[in-house]
Chains A and B, each alone.
Chain A
Amino acid sequence: MSLPESIQPVPPVKLALEEVSKTFHTRRGAVTALDRVSLEIREGEFVCLVGPSGCGKTTLLNIIAGLESPDAGRVLADGKPVTGAGSDRLVLFQESALFPWLDVLGNVLFGLRLKPNLNARERREVALFYLKLVGLEGFMHANVHELSGGMKQRAALARALAPNPRVLLMDEPFASLDALTREQLYGDLQAIWQKRRKTIVFVTHNAREAVCLGDRVVLFSPHPGRVQEQFSIPLPRPRDINSLDLAQHVAEITRALKRHLKPEMEVAE
């Protein structure tokens, strides 16, 4: 039984970005990567940040992660200002960033070993649970270099999920994969998200990917990086990236992207 939308309890704000600005100083002068970006992301929400390269979306993700600090403004996680990296906000990078000196299981255990309230047996159980979730239980003793690109990202996903972070930050994690593997991972990620109810912030330059995954799509424009428009995507899940319902939203977002961008900016649909 579902309540009418108006009286459904609104989940609390998980991440709040308040007037976040960041400028990089390069040899060719200052580049404003982010200009007073404000955004609220609610508990359990799947938000996609879309924009062309150089619009500061990766910088924003790093700021949320606590890997970089803003020049002005602040980020609140559960109402508390973010001052550094923390395992409540894990990042999935574009490259898997798996550690080559550990096997797959060792990689998944890495974050778990930093959790003091688990014993060795529990850590192993948790690690195996997540390896199973991403379909890599047969590869727990494989070396990183033996995995394919898709398997690497699955292993990285298991490693990010295992310490049970409440927020998952994903920086174009599927960009370097082939189309088939990517489609498979869209399905897997949606299933995992529905099962584990994480708050996910997903950065991409691909509007179709954003519509397929997100409850909400936030459009960024570059120079300086700003939030231009937001779209809510009310499509049922699991969504198929090739479905027609999806295409309408994609077209709408792509049009908006083109409207906000200078003509020379290329946007992948």
Chain B
Amino acid sequence: MKRLLVVLGFLAVVAVLWEALVRGGVWPRVLVPAPSEVARYLGAAVADGTLPNACWVTLRRLLLGYGAGVLLGLPLGLLLARFRVFEHTLGLLALGLQAMPSVCWAPLALLWFGQTETAMFFIVIMGSVWSIMLATQAGVRHVPPLYIRAARTMGSRGLHTWSRVILPAALPFIVSGMKQGWAFAWRSLMAAEIYVTIVTGFGLGHLLHYGRELHAMDAVLGIMLIILVVGLLTDKVLFSPVERFLRHRWGMDKS
């Protein structure tokens, strides 16, 4: 509760300062609209449905693409850790592709899939899958062999060992990989939405793009604010509980 008050107080101070700088004429209104104007834009955009709609479009793309990225990345990572052959082939490829900003896939995706949701889906997957895959591999590789030996003496074999020992033991790695994958997916989706117009749905990135085209700085700043909040919220909702659990179970030093 106290922390919330501190956060709110901080935001209020920033807003008041900003408002004062604009009203006092220090910052030109054309380039930096006052918080009150941004708030007015946001209110209007919520009222006419543009903003909720854009949020929904963007979040759906993100969740679908990221979900697919996790579903692909986890088993591929396990495969990479299990078989040496994959490490030097697929693993190397994954390392390179992870380092590549996934918006680089946009031109290719456009030519392959056209200006469709599939293109977006593809770009988000390419953003998330490699980090998740590599983190899963690293996690499995770092499982202390002692755990596996102990499990074997207790009668654990094959699939049971993988699901009850190796996967949970690799969890701290996997979670941090999933978090990184999420961050990459989110960035690549924003870049793609700004870069590519898709008629089936206007996401937050598109709104940002049109804000610039129309020189509507209140819209640009408003959407940026929303993007920031969405990033913050997903972190708090999706990852914070898991990380809290890891800290609690593994102890402070491990997660």
Contacts and interface: CB of A to CB of B under 8 A. Distances in A.
B49 interface: no
Contacts of A249: none
Interface string A81-105: 0001111011101010101111100
Chain B interface size band reads: 20 to 34
A110 B153 contact: no
Given A100-B254, A101-B249, A163 B146 contact: no
Contacts of B153: 65-67, 85-87, 89-91
A86 B171 contact: no
A250 B60 CA distance: 73
Contacts of B151: 110
Contact of A95 (B146, B154, B156, B249): B146
A163 B249 CA distance: 24
A103 B249 CA distance: 8
Contacts, number: 71
A262 B150 CA distance: 34
Given A100-B249, A145-B250, A90 B168 contact: no
Contact of B146 (A84, A93, A144): A93
Interface in B1-31: none
Does more than half of chain A's interface fall in helix, strand or loop, or is it mixed? loop
B107 to A, nearest CB: 43
A103 B248 CA distance: 11
Contacts of B244: none
Interface string B241-255: 000000011110010
Given A111-B155, A114-B160, A100 B150 contact: no
B212 interface: no
Contacts of A143: 248-251
B149 A91 contact: yes
B191 interface: no
B157 to A, nearest CB: 9
Contacts of B149: 67, 85, 91, 93, 97
Contact of B150 (A66, A86, A91): A91
Nearest to B154: A111
Given A67-B153, A90-B154, A93-B150, 15 more contacts: A67-B152, A85-B152, A87-B153, A87-B154, A95-B146, A97-B150, A101-B169, A102-B168, A103-B249, A110-B151, A110-B154, A114-B154, A114-B156, A143-B250, A145-B251
9 contacts: A84-B152, A85-B152, A87-B155, A97-B146, A99-B147, A99-B169, A110-B154, A114-B156, A146-B251
5 interchain residue pairs of minimum CB distance: A145-B251, A111-B154, A87-B155, A97-B150, A101-B168
